Structures are given as C-alpha cells and as structure tokens.
C-alpha cells in the first residue's frame, strides 16, 4: 500500500468518531505522516504533520501490514517495529481501529 491508500483506509476506519478523543500521528519518516485528529468533530485523517498527543514511529510497510491485518499492533511493538512516544494510553486505544 502507498501513503494515499493507507490514509484512505484509516479515514474509512476512523469515520466521523473514532472514540480516540485526542490526536495521534503515525510518523514514517521520509515516507510521510498520517495524522488522526480524534478531538475534532467530525474526526479528520490527513497527511499534515503537526503536534500530537501520541506519535507512533514505524515504516509504511509495517503500517500497511497492520491495516491489512497481516501484523498485530502488539506483535509489531514487541518486535520493535514501532516506537511510541507521548501518551501510551492513546496507542492502546488504536487496537480497535487496526
């Protein structure tokens, strides 16, 4: 999946109310970012970079595999394929989206 496909898939999963109640960013370095604004009404998913309550650093391939349900987020974390900074409780609420 490319960045546009990942963003579109997350936008569909988030819908108008993700239940996050805050902001979360998937930071893929030079591959781009996906920002979920779960505090706005309706929720928004964009590729705009900005401050987030929780940032998850990973590769586009890892995020794609999680979206396709080929890789569980918990497994990815344990394998060191993603790094969480900021509010860890926000990352834990992602399980239902991915």
Query: What ranges do the domains of the chain cover?
Result: 3-91
> Do the beta carbons of residue 23 and residue 52 sit within 8 Å?
yes
Using the structure block, give the residue that is written with the tokens 């993603």.
82
pLDDT digits (tens, 9 = 90+) for 20-58: 899 999 999 999 999 999 999 999 999 999 999 999 999
**C-alpha separations of 66 from 3, 29, 39, 42, 50 in Å:** 14, 17, 23, 24, 23
Q: Which CATH class is domain 3-91?
A: alpha beta
- Considering the chain, what is the average pLDDT of its residues? 93
Contacts (Cβ under 8 Å, ≥6 apart) of 18:
36, 38, 43, 97
Global pTM exceeds 0.85: yes
pLDDT at 95: 76
- pLDDT of 98 > 80? The answer is no
């Amino acid at each position: 999946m490319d960045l546009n496909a990942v963003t579109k898939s997350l936008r569909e999963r988030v819908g108008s109310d993700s239940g996050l109640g805050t902001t979360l960013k998937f930071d893929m370095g030079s591959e781009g970012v996906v920002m979920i604004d779960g505090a706005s009404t309706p929720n928004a998913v964009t590729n705009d970079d900005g401050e987030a309550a929780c940032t998850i650093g990973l590769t586009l391939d890892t995020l794609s595999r999680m979206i396709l349900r080929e890789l569980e987020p918990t497994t990815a974390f344990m394998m060191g394929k993603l790094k969480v900074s900021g509010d860890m409780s926000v990352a834990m609420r992602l399980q239902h989206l991915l």
